[in-house]
Amino acid sequence: MATFLFDEIIFGPVKSRRLGVSLGINLLPTKKKICNFNCIYCECGWTRNIEKAVSCLPRREEVYKALDFKLSELNKKSFAPDVITFAGNGEPTLHPDFPGIIDDSITLRNKYFPKARIAVLSNATTISNPLIKAALLKVDQNILKLDSAFDSTIKIHNQPRVDIDVEEFINRLIGFNGKVIIQTLFLRGIHNGKVIDNTTPVEITEWLKAIERIKPSEVMIYTISRDTPEGSRLNKIPLIELKGIAALVESMGIRTRVSG
């Protein structure tokens, strides 16, 4: 099934389901995905041979110039984005200059649109690095992925290219002391001939326990919205079901945002 890649360092602004009017920053190559996850639902397609693509990463100076130019243009048009979002073709925190680029983006945001938020969409695999964690704590919306509380489910849904122990993963998320937004994508379908579903009662019960322990400032619940590498073998979760899961989170006093 067709998927897509962002073909620029700075893209948009676009209307985001979860964030509003978003100006995107892609710290990865424009023609290849780089990620240490290989999620079966990723709109950017499969992760392949990332080692060969590292040399194609934009330099910190390039990112600064591109963001400065775009924000200047938007400022001249009096068009203020709601949020400046680090997303793009893979995992943004894998860029070796990620902490410095965050500092640059804060400087430029403050110069042109001080009311705009800065958000990072990350799979949270690098948060054991104190420099990455410190950078994430500087942004307005530190949005980290947790699709399941089970190792076996993460291995199928996210297909990590690094070792993941969910208990250790959750403990690191707890270490943000609430300055974190958890994002979870729910789906059902078939992968490699096996039925997959992270909305079963057992899955939801354990996921809710993890959310209660992490105590995030917010939870973002969503489902598939674009083509995936698995194509028609993966199914969206109906909005009414997502809202039902959200109600369980909200009963813990945690703000929840739902995107169907």
pTM for this structure?
A: 0.93
3-state helix, strand, coil in the chain (%, to 5): 35, 20, 40
State mean pLDDT over 69-93: 95
Residue with tokens 């354990």: 206
Q: What is the mean pLDDT of the chain?
A: 91
Query: In a 3-state reduction of DSSP, which class is residue 135?
Result: helix
Query: Domains of the chain (ranges plus CATH)?
Result: 10-259 (3.20.20.70)
Mean pLDDT lowest among 48-62, 104-118, 216-230: 48-62
Query: In a 3-state reduction of DSSP, which class is residue 3?
Result: coil
Determine the residue type at 242: L
Q: Are 229 and 1 in contact (CB under 8 A)?
A: yes
pLDDT value at position 1?
A: 45
Structure tokens at 23: 């100006």
pLDDT value at 37 more than 60? yes
